[in-house]
Chain A
Amino acid sequence: MGDDPRRRSGREGIVYFGAVGAGLSHELSNVFNIINELAGLQQDIVAAAAQGGAAGLARVTDLAARIKAQVVRGEEINRSLHRLSHAVDEPDGSFDVGETLVLFGSLAARTARLAEVAFESRPPKTPMAHRGDPFALLLVLHACLRAAIAAAASERRIEVLAEEGPDGARVVVCSADPLTDLTSDAAIAEMLEFGCAALAVAPRLERAPGGGDLIVLNLGPESTEPRSSG
């Protein structure tokens, strides 16, 4: 166990955790700022009504709905943060690949939006159980997303999907723009290497039938033994 790649991926995992955590924290701040501004607006409207201004009942009702929508948004962000935190609990347990893709979709939304790429995460319609480290899968998907964002040119569309392949579960990252070498950025390459080692997968670059490129991750049959990175 001395050379267990899961242990060596600690630093990469913390970097990913920090980046995603900071993004979620920023999104939560946005929610609080919006609620603060809506509350201020409500005060303005109530004050105007008290001074004999136009009846503000409909506007106050509308504001309450806008505040509630932000609370729902904040709760979703918090749920993602909670799931991310628990993704490190069981590095060898059974997890649902689809649920991990849904989580990755919400965690990656801000990164994709800031990079001005259209991003979609498409989980399978039925549960897809796999044994291994869900956090490592998040790490690998994040590295793939960053590589695809770095290569995004005219199309700027990225999708992540999971499907049953001939050798078991597989996850595919689809970039509408051609991908360059996945190892050209050192930080992405390290994250990918350590994540793949922990997951015991080797990413494969393929041409997409309709244009663009695919990164294919064959998760394979359930396994508890990590593949050596060396």
Chain B
Amino acid sequence: MAMDRVLLVDDEVVFLEALAERLRIRGLEVVCTASGREALTAVEEQTFDAVVLDLSMPGLDGLETLRRLREMQPELQVMILSGRATVQTAVEATRLGATDIFEKPTDVETLVQRIRAARAARLAHEQEVAQEAIDEIMRTKGW
């Protein structure tokens, strides 16, 4: 069975590596990027069940990265993990489609649960899309 696959995005590399190692210990496949731009490239080239995204980063900040990720893949499950999410940024992140907002330090078990739930949501969505395609074929071919 394929592992849950998550992309971690944070410019604090030591934090990134420690969290990635903890998630790997719990059976997740983890890819790390240290900037919003690298995250966009990773999502363009690979498939992820979830993206865990910091807000305060050089260059593209978390909100702008979130907006572009959701433009690229509207169904992508993106979670915010930030040290200083204000009510305003949390509202904006939710409006842009973030599924969860976590404040650092967060409980790793809760994060893993939400990533697993994101995978289930992604698979359910793929199944739905496949079913619609089948239904369309059945309708148009008249079988």
Q: In the complex, which of the residues A37, A48, A113 contacts B19, with contact meaning CB atoms closer than 8 Å?
A: A37
CB pair B58 A30 closer than 8 Å = no
**CA distance in complex: A116, B35 (Å):** 11
**Cβ-based interface call for B137 (8 A):** no
Residues in chain B near residue A26, CB distance under 8 A: 56, 83-84
Within 8 A of B (CB), among A1-60: 26, 29-30, 32-34, 36-38, 40-41, 44, 48
**CA distance in complex: A114, B11 (Å):** 10
Within 8 A of A (CB), among B8-46: 12, 14-15, 18-19, 21-22, 25
**CA distance in complex: A91, B138 (Å):** 83
Residues in chain A near residue B83, CB distance under 8 A: 26, 29-30, 33
Contact-size category for A: 20 to 34
CB pair A41 B12 closer than 8 Å = no
CB pair A34 B14 closer than 8 Å = yes
**CA distance in complex: A144, B22 (Å):** 43
CB pair A41 B59 closer than 8 Å = no
Q: In the complex, which of the residues B14, B25, B84, B105 contacts A48, with contact meaning CB atoms closer than 8 Å?
A: B25
**CA distance in complex: A32, B83 (Å):** 10
Tell which of A26, A34, A36 has the most Cβ of chain B within 10 Å.
A34
Within 8 A of A (CB), among B64-95: 83-84
CB pair B59 A29 closer than 8 Å = no
Binding site for A on B (CB under 8 A): 12, 14-15, 18-19, 21-22, 25, 56-59, 83-84, 104-105, 108
Top 6 closest A-B pairs, CB basis?
Answer: A37-B18, A36-B105, A33-B104, A29-B83, A34-B15, A44-B25
26 contacts between A and B (CB under 8 A): A26-B56, A29-B84, A30-B12, A30-B15, A30-B83, A32-B105, A33-B12, A33-B105, A34-B12, A34-B14, A34-B18, A36-B104, A36-B105, A37-B18, A37-B19, A37-B22, A37-B105, A38-B14, A38-B18, A44-B21, A44-B22, A44-B25, A48-B25, A69-B14, A114-B57, A115-B58
